[in-house]
Structure 1
Amino acid sequence: MGTVDAIKRPLNIPLKFVPYLEKHRIYGLFCEIAKQLIIKKPLNHILYVKQCLQHAARSRDAPRIVLICPPDFDRKLLAEYLELKLGIKSIGINEVEAFNSNEEFAANVRKMLRKLYFEESGWLFIDFPRVKSEACALKSLGIIPTHVIEIIWTDFSAESTLQSTPSRYSATSTRGSHHKMRPKTPNHLHNLHDLRAVYSSVLVQIETAGRTYEELGRACITLTRRRKYRTPCCNFRVVLIGPRGSGRRSVAGYLARRYNLVCIDFDYLLAQTRMQNNKLGESLRCLTCWEIRADADVKIRIVKRRLMSADCLKKGWVLFGYPITVEDFKLLDVLTTPPNRIICIDVDEATCRERLVSRRFNVITGSEHNSSRGSEEQSNPDFAVHCKDYEIAVSQNLKEYFTNRDSLLRYASESAITVDGAVSERNVKEKVESCLSQAPSAPPRIRKPKEEITAEDIEFDPDDPTDFKIYDELRRPDSILSLV
């Protein structure tokens, strides 16, 4: 952060407070308030911040979209679909009052947004701003979009794929309108270039590629849910969900080297804790002797102690092999440093089984090899099978994972990103790295239980009216006489 105090000393946020700021998006909230302070310039800024706090919290989450479309594109049909799904109001240039200058135009737009409370609920501009001067006038008055979506025509010979359930959006393909589209004029291209420069920080482009309007609408909705969350630091806390044989170990090692993260293998961490001379290690050794698996409370104690270490707090971490069940996931979310990236490597069970059963290790060099059944490498005495790669252990591990996979993904919902792990190792690493480079696909999960408020914690104001119900338990109840 660039803020300094009176002695010119940089102000740094302690690492232990950063996850709390990320979870509740407090940094983004105060960035929104600071932006409004600079635009409005109130005389009493303290009073303005007090009154603006609740408004800034709502406007921070409201989608504000500018739609840039090519000529002859049916933008009203696409705007109608977005208005229906997102619950926002679409506004055209014909709905704005008459104006004689760009400043008057921006003032009329702001007056309309305030009058209809669109600043808090979100809005969609479908055919303006048209030129750079209009865009700059809107930004000067604080009308700043969260997303600017540009529709780009692409020519594909394949017909668009329609859904089985017909509707007025899916039955209309954008490809048919493409052949009738007028060519772009030099003036239009110049204005388009200027708008891209003004909104470069929030601009996203979507190609038609023969899609229907419904498919374009779903693509726009997916982009609007991915926002650039302002955060004081960018420490990644990644959880890789995937079965053994999906390549999760290789991906975790790659991310650790690429982003200087701490790589945490839960199975290795569990075995390391079992060998320690402390109460936790003794309890784990006792459970192993009785062939009893550690419960969720014991596992989260092991993970918590590792995640709260100094290197994990400073660098960030990538964890695989945990969580195993939804209960583990809930306990992980309650920690002070919950994960901010959930990536699922999707590989079918047959592929994982084949990879694990055919895996061999060189007992001399420790190198890993993949040999098919009946090959010469299986008869080589230097190659051996790891104890965890026997068919019984593989079947048990895969059965446990695929039993809990659907429930884990349902719990993570939109915050989890699924990556196809059946492709080459290089493609998997590139897709996972792209998931880290973009903003989270959904707000963080807040699963901490609500604290119960006791009567001793309630503060009373002497000016409050007296509540006579508090005397009901002090007075002796009146006797009830029977009339029979």
Structure 2
Amino acid sequence: MIMAMWLCKHLNSNLLTRDNLTERKSSSVATEARKHYQKFKRVPSTLLIRLIQQRLTEEDCVKRGWILDGIPETREQALVIQTLGIAPRHVIVLNAPDTVLIERNLGKRIDPQTREIYHTTFDWPPEPEVQDRLIEPEGISEQETAQKLLVYHRNIIKLLPSYPRVLKTINADQPCVDVFYQALTFVQSGHRSNAPFTPRVLLLGPMGSGKSLQAGLLAQKYGLVNVCCGQLLKETVADKSKVGELIWSFLEKKVTVPDSVILKMLTERLDQQDCVQRGWVLHGFPRDVDQAQRLDGLGYVPNRVFFLNVPLDSIMERLTLRRIDPVTGERYHLMYKPPPTMEIQARLSQHPRDAEERVKLKVDLYYRNSTELEHFYRWAIAINGDQDPYTVFEYIESGIINPLPRKVL
């Protein structure tokens, strides 16, 4: 926390922590998060990520940047954040022996007025009035700290692979000033794009094939703009632009939005400077060959296309077993992430889109159109999406870095 605060002051950036996100008075999401914390002593990942999304769209974060402290805490959170296109340019891990961390934590004190953090040994304020009002924060006893460290070590091993090429580990068992300057030097360095050209990537596959996750990983590693057609529809409607109002008129009547309207929305996004300069990864469109031809005809031609193929049985397993806790907002999977208690399991509900019949219908519709799409994108790369997501990502990455194979006709 201290290191993050120092970096924010030096860089004139914004510090985002779980505490200051949930303490915001102007946010209904923060109010909901506080209620959950008061009742369950934790903030569900879904609420925390919504708070981050909300905060990052505000003007000060857009202009001055941000530092996330202690978030994400788990691999699951990291994957969801990446899927949303939130991609930190630098990730720092501070390492120190547990005995040192426990000792440091015991001396931590907080100024209730400024929320500044001090330490009884390393950073004691010189002003007597500040010293007098310092308080000991909750949860810093030796036993509580040891328990938190146990959970941290369990999660960090799975979390670190989410941030290849932007990660730096710093030994924190040295003077704070030395740690700070190492961290500052790292965050002030720029990363060159790993991509050998400006990528325009198209991901195709049925629902549940992992397109959103792979798009998030590509955006993270190569700095691409993550263009999800479904998310873009929601954002355009929320902007209340002319196109947004037009889209809403169709959604309100529960009528399919015409291709011409979707293409207008997409072309406006793909014409923006960030997409032109950094490249993009598009998913959720096109869904059939007519849409692909129209996109191509407008000049938005992808230079890499990937088909993520997943068997129906695997898709059904991934989607129809998903559940949400209506009380905490926490998401579960009956096979991969079952609820911890029978009480929670009894109140879980299923989102209508994950119903078996609806999933089958959408997957069937995709595969009915996929043959023509495969013929249209003859040079596309087919990937088995029924694997660990990082294995799938390695295949996609290989397809981006290496030249396209010449196919003999």
Calculate the TM-score normalised by the size of structure 2: 0.47
Structure with a larger share of its residues in helix = 2
Larger radius of gyration: 1
